[in-house]
Structures are given as C-alpha cells and as structure tokens.
C-alpha cells in the first residue's frame, strides 16, 4: 500500500514536471491524501490511515506547500495515538501545536491538539501534564462553544483519577461530563462516560450496578446505531460475569461482542474476542470449539500482521492439542509459536514453547530431543535474566546521569541566586539610612514572629520524628521476624538436605550391600527397607526444596513462579497457564519471598484439596501495583462457614498479604472452583 501511494506521487511528478515548485492551486494531492486518511480513521483502519498521512506529508514536501503542515502533523499524532505509539504521537502533536500557535483565530485546531496531548499524558499516568493540557483544551473549546469537546476533556480528567484509584474524585468529573452531555444531547460522550462509571463499579466489585449502567449505555447505542461502543460494552459486561465465575454468561457476552466487532470490522478486537472465547471453551474441555475460535483468531492476526498475537495463539493451540493428547499436532503448533515469536523477539512466548516441546518429547520417551529443548529453554531463560539485568543497570545509569544533570543545573541556579543576593545587599546598603527606624521595628516584629513560628515548627518536627521512629521500630521488628523465619527455613532446609538426606542415602547404600550378601528371605526384607529409605530421602529433598527453592534466590520471583507451574505440569495431571504482564520489576528479597509463599500456598491448596484439572494464574505490574489473579476449576468451598475460613491455609495467605500492605479477595462456591484476586503495592 505504502509503495503504491508513493509511486502514484512520483508518477504524477514525472508526468507533470511543473509540479516541482508549483503554485498552491496545484497541490490538491496533499488534500486528497489527507482526506483519505480521515476516511480510514473513521472506519478504524489506522495503519492504512498512517500510510495516506505519510503520503500527504511527502507530497507537501515535494510541492513545497507548508499550508497544511499543522493539520498533517496533528493527524499523524492522532493516528499514532490510536496505534498506541504514544512517544512518537507526542512529538508530532507538539509540532502541530507550535505551528498552530503561530496562526490567528485557530482555536478549534489548538483545542484538538491540547486534548490529544492531554489524553496521551493520561495514558502515561502523568497527572500534572495531563491536567495542564486538558484545562487548555477546555478553555479553548468553551471559547468556540464546542460543548462536546468540553465534555470529553472533563471526562479525561476523570480517567486520570480512575487510574490513580481515587474513585470518588473520578466520579465527580464523570458526573459533571454526563450532566453537560445530557443537557446538550451529546449521546456519544454520554455513552463513553457511562462506560467509565461502570468500570469504577467493576473495580469496586459491584458487578450488578456495573451491568445496570452498561445496559443504559447500550440502550443509547441502539438509538444512535453506535456499533463500536456496543462491542466495548458487551466485552466489559461479559467480564463482570467472568469475575463472578459465571463462565457460561461470560461466553455468551463475548460472542455477542464478537458480532458487534465484526460489524464494524475492528479486527484487533475480533482476534482478541476469538481468543477469549477459545480459552473459556478450553476450560470447559470443549476442545473442538476452542480450536475453531483459535484458528479464526490466527487468521485475523495474520491479516493485520500481528506476529506477537499469532505466536501466543499458536502456543494456546499447542496447549489445547496437548489436552486432547494429540501430541504430534501439539508439537507442530508449539514449533509455529517458536517461529513467530522469533520474528518479533517475543522471548517469553518462545520460552514457554521450548518448555512445552521438551515436555512433549519426554512424554514420548524421546529423551534426547527433550533434553535438547530443555537446554534451549534454560539458555533462553538465562538470556532473559541477563537482559533484565542489563536493562536494570541501564535505567540506573540513566537515573544517575539525570541526577548529575540536575545537580549541575542546581549549582548554576545557586550561583545566580548568590549573584542576585549580592546585588540586593548593595542596594539595601545604599538605602539603609533612609529606613532605619522602620527597619528596626520590622526586625523586632519579624524576630517575634520568627520565634513563634520556630517554636511551632520544632514541636511539629518533634512529633513527626516520634511517629517516624515508632514506624521504623515496628518495621524493624517485622523485618526481624521475617528475616528470622526465612533464615530458620534456610537452616532447616540445609540440615535436611546435608544432614538427614545424607544419612538416609548412606543407610540405603548399606542396605544394598546387605541385600547382596543376605539369603533370599532377609534380602527381600532388606530390599523393602531400602525402598522405604529411598522414599524418605526423596521426601526430604522435596521438603528442603519447598522450604527454600534455589531458583528464587538465583533468578528472582518471576522465574521461581514459572518453575512452580512447570513442575505442576510435569508432576501432576493438572494443566496450568501462567502469564506475566507489564514490566517485571526487581523487588526486594523479603517481598519476593512473601509473594512466592502466597502463590505456593494457593497452589498447595489446589493440589491437596480441590481436585482441580485446570489452574490459571496471571501477574500484572502496573502503576506500582502487582496484581495476582489465581483460579482453579476444583470443588471450591463455602467461604461463609467458619471451618472454611480457618482451613486450606487461608490464614497464611491473608497474613502475608497484610504484611505487604496489600488486599486479597477470595471468591469460591461449592462445585464452582476458587479464585483469588490480590493487589500488592511495590
């Protein structure tokens, strides 16, 4: 497409050489491509819109026509924002803003630029910059009586507070936007505002209230035939059922959303909905239906050229075939996952595929290939760890360089302050005799006020220090308990492994010697005793590993948890899915140990008590919050009963989450599995 558009421009120039340096009236090609880009944006074809915009900018340069540069840069910034390339979008929107400020009576253009810049800062969680630009947009929209622009800018300010989890303040902005939109019959803004309000109720676990608001928004969509927001509403509504554990109604909602997404040809949403539907069918073990939707997702992602999603979809297909015990097909799709993840350097997907392939070869007793892919898995895992280390060091160096720059700036500012102070002192000396009496009175008053202020300040500082010391003392005590507990775990694990484990192994060797020399009756008894010793030795090693796994101290929490779920896949009949989203921040040792124990406790509950066949666990790092969502399809239990509250290690999970100042929500019913929702500040 890009080559075709560029070729058309060049062809026009070759046929009409006069266009080089032509007059303004000869540059209609710029407008043609600008308008084509606008049309593609209206139907959500943002990649094609970008190609047309690039062509318009190229034509503008070729014809030396700068009249439309502001609009073209603004359009490119908006397209890049839609494609989630926020850094580049900011660059082009800032350029368009500079160009627009040089023109007179250009409030509509400036308002739109300020609004789009503000919403990018909202996405990047930069509150101050977001508010500066959104307030400028509101002021300009008000001047030109654009109520729709005012409403959407106010709504964007509410989104800032939603992302900060300050829901009361967010609701104030949403309600203001909703009332203004209702008074002026601006239906699209009403729909979006209602969706944002409903999402706050979802975050507050008030799912019925959220669905009621979604229904109101959906009714407005029907009135104005807004299929795009219909799909969004159905998806969010389905999520409420998923959070309540009602997979059947969630499935129904996703299917209805898929119809709406197909109607507006929103291919990215179509692919994701097909994947979500397939995952639910996989959980229900309806593999044929899961395969159908996964292959449709692959086709859509191939159409839009999203190799990242293609790789993860092939990995899911491999898991489905593995569940069907179709190992050859499973292997084929895992290999496709490796291929596509290699194209986009998606290391996590590739890592999972290597591990899954190794397990498949092991199940088929092909130990040579199993070891080969296990070695690839370990090599890639080490590479990922090294990349994370390099990234961490680079970020640290960048912060250090920034600190140095700020220090230099501060030094220059101090020198300027000193220079200004010297000039002021000289000026003061020249005028001191004229105001000596007044100065004396002012000094006396200032001294009195200063000492009063100093006294209050010292009292406040003393109170704050006492509170700080008390907090530090409590924290030190808690850390001492935690350090002591983990130190004791390490000591016991070491003694079990190096002490009792060695003794049991030695005893086993002696029994083997006795077995060889004893007669048949005694030899049989010796053999049984040796088997018991070997079993005890294995159990000792297992207990030692559970008390303090080596992978946690060597590679950190994310690799340790990956290892936990891989062991479940290998050692049990339970199928697991473990995903990490967002930045994998390096945490302090105590926090990593506590998080590991929390997940370990949930896994142990599933294995020992639930009888589950599927386990799903996701970890998300976002806005300095680490979220853990864990679920199984086991027998579940009635959490309202006292004996349930005191069993399954729930107290252990709660106490560890409380120590990390986090929140935990448990959802479970008899026969409907168990779900944990945990949030921990990091």
Where are the alpha helices (H) located in 16-126, listed in sequence order? 28-42, 46-62, 69-82, 86-101, 107-123
pLDDT value of position 61 = 84
Instruction: Say whether pLDDT at 54 is over 70.
Output: yes
pLDDT value of position 24 = 41
- Residue by residue, DSSP assigns 579-641 as EEEE--PPPPHHHHHHHHHHHHHHHHHIIIII--SEEEEEEEEETTEEEEEEEE-S----TTS
Copy the structure tokens of residue 341.
Answer: 């993840």
- The C-alpha atoms of residue 127 and residue 161 are separated, in whole angstroms, by 9
pLDDT value of position 520 = 60
Section 638-645 average pLDDT: 64
> Which residue has 């640290």 as its token pair?
396
pLDDT value of position 70 = 84
Instruction: Please say whether the dihedral angle defined by the alpha carbons of residues 296, 302, 308 and 314, taken in this order, is positive or negative.
Output: positive
pLDDT value of position 618 = 94
Identify which of 151, 153, 223, 218 has the alpha carbon closest to the alpha carbon of residue 191. 218
What pLDDT digit, counting tens, does each position of 269-305 carry? 888 889 989 888 988 889 999 999 999 999 988 887 7
Q: What are phi and psi of 617, to 5 degrees?
A: -140, 130
pLDDT value of position 653 = 87
Is the pLDDT higher at 10 or at 142? 142
Instruction: Say whether pLDDT at 396 is over 60.
Output: no
Give how far Cα 86 sits from Cα of 91, 243, 301, Å.
9, 30, 22
Instruction: Say whether pLDDT at 12 is over 50.
Output: no
What pLDDT digit, counting tens, does each position of 463-503 carry? 777 777 775 565 555 556 555 666 666 667 666 655 565 66
Copy the structure tokens of residue 266.
Answer: 């929103």
Q: Are 377 and 358 in contact (CB under 8 A)?
A: yes
pLDDT value of position 521 = 61
β-pairing, 614-622 vs 674-681, is: unpaired
Tell me which of 150-159, 457-466, 614-623, 625-634 is least confident. 457-466
Section 114-133 average pLDDT: 90
pLDDT value of position 1 = 44
| DSSP 8-class letter at 223 | H
HSE, side-chain direction, 13 A CA sphere, residue 577 = 21
Give CATH 3.30.565.10 domain extents, the chain. Answer: 572-681
The reply to whether the predicted model has a pTM over 0.75 is no
What pLDDT digit, counting tens, does each position of 549-594 carry? 667 777 788 888 898 898 898 888 899 999 999 888 888 888 888 8
Instruction: Please say whether the dihedral angle defined by the alpha carbons of residues 490, 492, 494 and 497, taken in this order, is positive or negative.
Output: negative
pLDDT value of position 498 = 59
Instruction: Say whether pLDDT at 604 is over 80.
Output: yes
Is the pLDDT higher at 541 or at 592? 592
β-pairing, 674-681 vs 625-632, is: antiparallel
Q: What are phi and psi of 616, to 5 degrees?
A: -120, 130
pLDDT value of position 641 = 75
Instruction: Say whether pLDDT at 27 is over 90.
Output: no
- Residue by residue, DSSP assigns 238-278 as HHHHHHTT-HHHHHHHHHHHHHHHHHTT-HHHHHHHHHHHH
Q: What value does the mean pLDDT of the chain take?
A: 81
pLDDT value of position 228 = 80
What pLDDT digit, counting tens, does each position of 234-244 carry? 889 889 988 88
pLDDT value of position 25 = 42
Q: Output the 3-class SS for 367-403.
A: HHHHHHHHHHHHHHHHHHHHHHHHHHHHHHHHHHHHH
Q: What are phi and psi of 625, to 5 degrees?
A: -125, 130
Domain 572-681: which CATH class? alpha beta
Confidence tier at 10 by pLDDT (50, 70, 90): very low
Section 75-101 average pLDDT: 86
- Number of H helices and E strands in the chain, helices first, is 27, 5
- The C-alpha atoms of residue 329 and residue 288 are separated, in whole angstroms, by 14
- The C-alpha atoms of residue 180 and residue 403 are separated, in whole angstroms, by 45
What pLDDT digit, counting tens, does each position of 42-53 carry? 877 878 888 888
Section 341-361 average pLDDT: 87
Tell me which of 5-19, 79-93, 188-202, 492-506 is least confident. 5-19
> Which residue has 């060597």 as its token pair?
554
């Amino acid at each position: 497409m890009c080559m075709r558009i560029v070729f058309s421009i060049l062809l026009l120039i070759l046929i009409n050489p006069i266009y080089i340096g032509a007059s303004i009236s000869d540059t209609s090609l710029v407008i043609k491509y600008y308008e084509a880009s606008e049309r593609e944006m209206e139907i959500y074809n943002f990649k094609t819109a970008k190609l047309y915009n690039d062509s318009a900018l190229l034509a503008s340069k070729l014809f030396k026509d700068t009249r439309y540069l502001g609009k073209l840069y603004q359009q490119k910034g908006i397209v890049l924002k839609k494609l989630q390339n926020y850094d580049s979008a900011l660059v082009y929107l800032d350029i368009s803003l500079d160009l627009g400020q040089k023109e007179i009576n250009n409030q509509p253009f400036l308002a739109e630029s300020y609004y789009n810049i503000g919403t990018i800062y909202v996405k990047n969680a930069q509150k101050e910059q977001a508010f500066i630009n959104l307030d400028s947009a509101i002021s300009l929209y008000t001047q030109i009586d654009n109520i729709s622009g005012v409403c959407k800018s106010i709504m964007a300010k509410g989104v800032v507070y939603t992302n900060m989890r300050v829901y009361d303040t967010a609701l104030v902005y949403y309600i203001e936007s909703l009332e203004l939109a209702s008074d002026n019959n601006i239906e699209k803004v009403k729909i979006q505002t209602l969706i944002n309000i409903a999402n706050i109720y979802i975050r507050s676990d008030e799912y019925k209230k959220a669905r009621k608001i979604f229904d109101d928004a959906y009714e407005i969509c029907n009135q104005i035939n807004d299929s795009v927001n219909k799909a969004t509403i159905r998806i969010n509504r389905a999520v409420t059922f998923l959070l309540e554990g009602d997979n059947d109604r969630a499935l129904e909602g996703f299917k209805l959303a898929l119809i709406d997404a197909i109607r507006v040809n929103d291919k990215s949403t179509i692919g994701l909905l097909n994947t979500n539907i397939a995952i639910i069918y996989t959980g229900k073990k309806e593999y044929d239906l899961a395969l159908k939707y996964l292959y449709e997702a692959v086709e859509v992602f191939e159409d839009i050229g999203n190799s990242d999603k293609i790789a993860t979809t092939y990995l899911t297909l491999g898991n489905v075939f593995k569940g069907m015990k179709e190992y050859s097909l499973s292997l084929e799709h895992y290999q496709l996952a490796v291929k596509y993840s290699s194209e986009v350097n998606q290391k996590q997907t590739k890592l999972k595929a290597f591990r899954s392939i190794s397990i498949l070869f092991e199940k088929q007793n092909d130990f040579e290939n199993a070891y080969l892919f296990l070695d690839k898995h370990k090599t890639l895992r080490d590479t990922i760890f090294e990349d994370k280390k390099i990234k961490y060091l680079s970020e640290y160096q960048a912060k250090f360089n920034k600190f140095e720059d700020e220090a230099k700036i501060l030094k220059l500012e101090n020198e300027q302050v000193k220079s200004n102070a010297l000039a002021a002192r000289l000026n003061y000396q020249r005028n001191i005799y004229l105001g000596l009496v007044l100065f004396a009175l002012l000094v006396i008053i200032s001294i009195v006020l200063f000492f009063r202020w100093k006294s209050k300040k010292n009292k406040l500082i003393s109170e704050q220090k006492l509170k700080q010391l008390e907090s530090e003392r409590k924290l030190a005590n808690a850390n001492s308990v935690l350090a002591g507990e983990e130190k004791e775990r390490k000591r016991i694990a070491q003694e079990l492994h190096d002490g009792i484990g060695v003794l049991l192994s030695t005893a086993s060797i002696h029994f083997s010697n006795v077995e060889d020399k004893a007669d048949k009756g005694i030899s049989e008894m010796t053999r049984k005793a040796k088997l018991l010793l070997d079993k005890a030795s294995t159990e000792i090693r297992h207990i030692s590993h559970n008390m303090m796994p080596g992978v946690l101290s060597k590679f950190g929490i994310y690799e340790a948890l990956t290892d936990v779920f891989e062991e479940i896949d290998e050692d049990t009949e339970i199928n697991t899915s473990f995903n990490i989203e967002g930045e994998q921040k390096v945490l302090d040792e105590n926090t990593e140990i506590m998080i590991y124990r929390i997940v370990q406790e949930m896994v142990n509950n599933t294995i020992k008590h639930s009888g589950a066949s599927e386990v799903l666990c996701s970890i998300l790092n976002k806005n300095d919050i680490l979220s853990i969502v864990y679920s199984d399809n086991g027998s579940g239990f009635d959490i309202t009963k006292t004996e349930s509250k005191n069993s399954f290690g729930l107290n252990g999970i709660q106490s560890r989450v409380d120590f990390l100042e986090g929140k935990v929500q448990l959802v479970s019913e008899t026969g409907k599995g168990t779900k944990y929702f945990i949030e921990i500040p990091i």
